[in-house]
Amino acid sequence: MSMLIQMFCFTRRAIAALVLGSGAWSVAQAQVRAPEPMPRQVQGTPLQTPPPAHVRPVLTDPRVRQAQDRLDTRRRVIESDRQHEQRLQALGAAPQARESELAASRLREADARRDAALLREREAAAREARGRELVDPRR
C-alpha cells in the first residue's frame, strides 16, 4: 500500500514538473518569436511626410479625382460582372444566349478600349494639374 502511495506521489511530481517545464518552454519560445516593436508602433504615430511636389496636385485636383473615380468604378463593375458569371457557373445555370467567341472577344476589346480611355483621361488631368502647379505653386 505504501508503495502505491509513493508511486502516486512520484507521478504527481513528475506531471507537475512536466507542466511547469512545458509552460516555461512556451514562454521562452514566445519571447524568442515575438518581434520587437518598431519605434513608430510604440508611439502609435504614422509616418507624416508630405508628398513630393510632382504628386501633390494629383492628390488635390478634383478632375484627377473624378477621373480616378470613374476608372475605379469601371474596374469594380468589371469585377462584379466576373464574379456574377462565376457564381452562375458554380450553380450550373445554363446561359440564356451563349455568345460566340467572336462576340466575346469584341466585348473584351471594347472593355480594354474603355479602360485605356479612362486611363488616358486620368493621366491628362494629372499632367494638367502638374502644369498648373508649376505655374502657380501656391495651390
pLDDT (tens digit, 9 = 90+) per residue, 102-139? 677 788 888 889 989 988 998 998 888 888 888 776 65
Does residue 23 belong to any structural domain of this protein?
A: no
Confidence category of residue 1, pLDDT binned at 50, 70, 90: low
Residue 13 has pLDDT above 60, yes or no: yes
Mean pLDDT of the chain: 71
Mean pLDDT across 74-80 = 86
Question: What's the domain count of the chain?
Answer: 1
The span from the CA of 12 to the CA of 21, in Å, is 14
Does residue 7 belong to any structural domain of this protein?
A: no
Does residue 12 belong to any structural domain of this protein?
A: no
Does residue 37 belong to any structural domain of this protein?
A: no
Q: What is the pTM of this model?
A: 0.40
Does residue 66 belong to any structural domain of this protein?
A: yes
Structural domain that includes position 116: 56-92+107-135
User: What's the gap between Cα 4 and its chain centre?
Assistant: 62
Does residue 27 belong to any structural domain of this protein?
A: no
